[in-house]
Amino acid sequence: MPGCILTIDQGTTNTKALLVDRTGQPVFRASSSVPLLTPRDGRIEQNLDTIWLSVIDVILQCLEHTGANSIEAIALTNQRETAAAWDRGTGAPVANAISWQCRRSSTICNALAGSSALIQQRTGLPLDPLLSATKWAWLLEDEGALRRRADAGELCFGTIDSWLLWKLTSGKVHATDHTNASRTALLNLESLDWDPALLAIFGIPRVTLPELVSSCGVLGKVFAVPELLGVPIVSIIGDSHAALAGHGNFSAGTVKATYGTGSSLMTLTSELPAPTPQLARTIAWTIAGVPQYALEGNITMTGSAIQWVGEFLGLADPVADTIALATSVSSAEGVSFVPAMAGLGAPYWNSSARGTISGLNRSSGKAHLAHAALEAIAFQVADVFISMQAASTAPMSALFADGGATRNDVLMQMQADVLGLPAHRAGCEDLSALGAGWLGGHALGWWPTLADLEALRAPTTNFRPQPFDHRRYDQWKLAVARTQFAEACA
């Protein structure tokens, strides 16, 4: 096989790998599952060693397919805000990784509410338990002995990309790229450096944090996998950012939505955008130290909302059976489902909100709830898209979609209808891995310019908007308002 890039995509429930050849196309795919742990009180964690073993698993699958001589470089993309901590000397985890979905650091956010404006001004992020800094602050507060070790420089903090880079290089490199750093609430978007005032606010010693690097370039070499000894690691980028690159559109106004466990919408901007309370400002990627800025909106539960409904209904295959039920009826017959079981993300940013099912009548059944769950995905994405339209100076004429849930034609048509704009489904299911691989190839000189990357775009499946009764969307917004009103009265 000609030379290729092995892209590792470490996600919330699976670690995947793609072999991307010099034509920019995937030629092999591997996958290994990773469990979520829920030990108590709704906490959500992951074992760092288990994550690493899943990475080794997909690497070995790729090696079995192609042989080591064909792999010219490694690219990394990852779930983002999940917070890891490990011993600098031994490399052993000092705690389970705290998942991006976990809300345990709500107490930290409450305590720091007076600094929320400063945090958002400098990082572009609304203060929320989603963010990595809140999780590290919680860990240092909950585990008193770790505070002393952190202050002494004995601990390494990082998001999952940092952990994997550390492991792949056998502890020789402790680094993160600007996309992952921009989701911690510690990176100053203007200076592209860790912000001293924010470090003080969260109580995070700078010595614990990784070096900041661009999203592509030679970032280290593999030492932990004998078959790949010395192979360069040429890209690190957060999964949502990588998916945006994988769509192959690099102009301002491009909007993509990644439909996964949760969902992320991101739109490129021509410069650092002005602050807006509904959306995050972020870095789409950096190339040679130059940032490409973006607006982003994060939704906590989309694919996981389908999973929840299937489990709630006691279905044998929660996801597949829920989708089958949802598509067996033409509408939800007035039922609205707001999947705020872990709070509401953009554009509401209400971590205390909780899920509701409303609009039930005597004839409501399982299929109507399932259909309402499918609608909830489309409506949540529409909420963020409309906020982006209001905040961006660039026109938005379509939505580019990727992720597992986009395989459902009913959802994609529903999305186009509620937006009144075309929805373009990516031809590659693993767009985050593909985008990271493309940036890695850019670093290697395979595709020297962004125009070269744009030329790699694969055909999309296009869903054109059809007439839509927007009263249904109005019902959804009323249900969201009731959810927050009920929370306020609790």
Residue ranges and CATH numbers for the domains of the chain are: 4-240 (3.30.420.40), 248-425+460-490 (3.30.420.40)
pLDDT value of position 456: 93
Q: Is 53 helix (H, G, I), strand (E, B) or coil?
A: helix
Backbone angles phi, psi at 179, to 5 degrees: -70, -50
pLDDT value of position 1: 57
- The residues facing 423 across adjacent strands are 399, 463
The first and second tokens of residue 240, run together, are 């949502």
Task: Confirm if 321 and 374 have CB atoms less than 8 A apart.
Answer: no
The first and second tokens of residue 23, run together, are 């034509």
pLDDT value of position 136: 98
Report the alpha-carbon distance of residue 195 to residue 208 in Å, rounded: 14
Helix axes of 366-391 and 303-312: crossing angle, nearest 10 degrees: 160
First to last CA, the chain: 61
Q: Is 75 helix (H, G, I), strand (E, B) or coil?
A: strand
- Kindly provide the residue ranges of all beta strands, DSSP E only, lying in 45-111, ordered along the sequence: 45-46, 71-78, 84-87, 97-98
Report the alpha-carbon distance of residue 379 to residue 436 in Å, rounded: 29
Report the alpha-carbon distance of residue 168 to residue 232 in Å, rounded: 10
Of 412, 417, 399, 404, which is closest to residue 470 (Cα–Cα)? 417
Cis peptide before 2 (omega within 30 of 0): no
Q: Is 315 helix (H, G, I), strand (E, B) or coil?
A: coil
Report the alpha-carbon distance of residue 321 to residue 306 in Å, rounded: 10
Of 94, 9, 83, which is closest to residue 45 (Cα–Cα)? 83
7 Cβ contact partners less than 8 Å away, ≥ 6 residues apart: 17, 18, 19, 20, 74, 75, 76, 77, 235, 433, 434, 436, 437, 440
The first and second tokens of residue 297, run together, are 């909106």
Report the alpha-carbon distance of residue 337 to residue 305 in Å, rounded: 9
Kindly list the averaged pLDDT for each block of 10 residues, start to end, along the chain of length 490: 90 94 94 92 92 98 92 96 97 96 92 96 93 97 91 97 98 97 97 97 98 96 96 96 92 89 90 89 94 93 92 94 94 94 88 90 95 96 94 89 90 96 91 96 95 91 94 93 69
Q: Is 36 helix (H, G, I), strand (E, B) or coil?
A: coil
Q: Is 6 helix (H, G, I), strand (E, B) or coil?
A: strand
Task: Confirm if 24 and 447 have CB atoms less than 8 A apart.
Answer: yes
Report the alpha-carbon distance of residue 71 to residue 48 in Å, rounded: 25
Alpha helices in 87-221 (DSSP H): 106-111, 116-123, 132-142, 144-151, 160-168, 178-181, 196-202
Q: Is 147 helix (H, G, I), strand (E, B) or coil?
A: helix
pLDDT value of position 332: 93
Report the alpha-carbon distance of residue 291 to residue 216 in Å, rounded: 12
Report the alpha-carbon distance of residue 271 to residue 288 in Å, rounded: 17
Write down the pTM of the prediction. Answer: 0.90
pLDDT value of position 101: 87
Report the alpha-carbon distance of residue 399 to residue 462 in Å, rounded: 10
b (16+ CB within 10 A) / e for 91-101? eebbbbbbbbb
Report the alpha-carbon distance of residue 21 to residue 9 in Å, rounded: 16
pLDDT value of position 140: 96
DSSP per residue, 394-439: S----EEEESGGGG-HHHHHHHHHHHTS-EEE-S-S-HHHHHHHHH
Neighbours of 23 (CB within 10 A): 11
Q: What is the distance of C-alpha 294 from the center of its chain?
A: 14
Q: What is the distance of C-alpha 382 from the center of its chain?
A: 18
pLDDT value of position 52: 98
Report the alpha-carbon distance of residue 456 to residue 438 in Å, rounded: 9
DSSP per residue, 441-472: HHHHTSS-SHHHHHTTPPP-EEE------THH
Report the alpha-carbon distance of residue 283 to residue 291 in Å, rounded: 6
Report the alpha-carbon distance of residue 373 to residue 315 in Å, rounded: 15
